Amino acid sequence: MTKAHHIAFVALLTGDTLLLRRLYPEWDMQTRLPAFARHGMLLWYCTQHGLFYQPL
């Protein structure tokens, strides 16, 4: 990831819970999700391409 093109954050939405992880260009593009993340919506924001989502 470069400073001009990186994943800025990853968010997990499940029912009434929001888990937000901020990512930085110096880090690897990795994060761990908790065990309750079997259902919900996964969102991530690319600084160049915008917002993406994936239903779980």
- What confidence tens digit (pLDDT) does each residue in 33-42 have? 787 777 899 9
Domain annotation covers residue 1: no
Residue 2 lies in a domain: no
- The per-residue pLDDT for 20 is 95
The answer to whether residue 18 sits within a structural domain is yes
Domain count of the chain?
Answer: 1
Q: What's the confidence (pLDDT) of residue 50?
A: 97
DSSP character at residue 27? S
Residue that is written with structure tokens 């968010």 in the block: 11
pLDDT band per the 50, 70, 90 thresholds, residue 13: very high
Residue 17 lies in a domain: yes
The pLDDT value given to residue 5: 92
**Is residue 49 a part of any domain in this protein?**
yes
In a domain, 29, yes or no: yes
On the question of pLDDT at 8 being above 90, the answer is: yes
Helix (H, G, I), strand (E, B) or coil at 54: strand
For residue 11, tell me if it sits in a domain. Answer: yes
pTM, 2 dp = 0.84
- Residue 5, phi then psi, degrees to nearest 5: -140, 100
- Distance from CA of residue 55 to its chain's centroid? 12
Instruction: Tell me whether residue 20 is in a domain.
Output: yes
Cβ 41 vs Cβ 53: under 8 Å: yes
| Full residue range of the structural domain in which residue 23 is found | 7-55
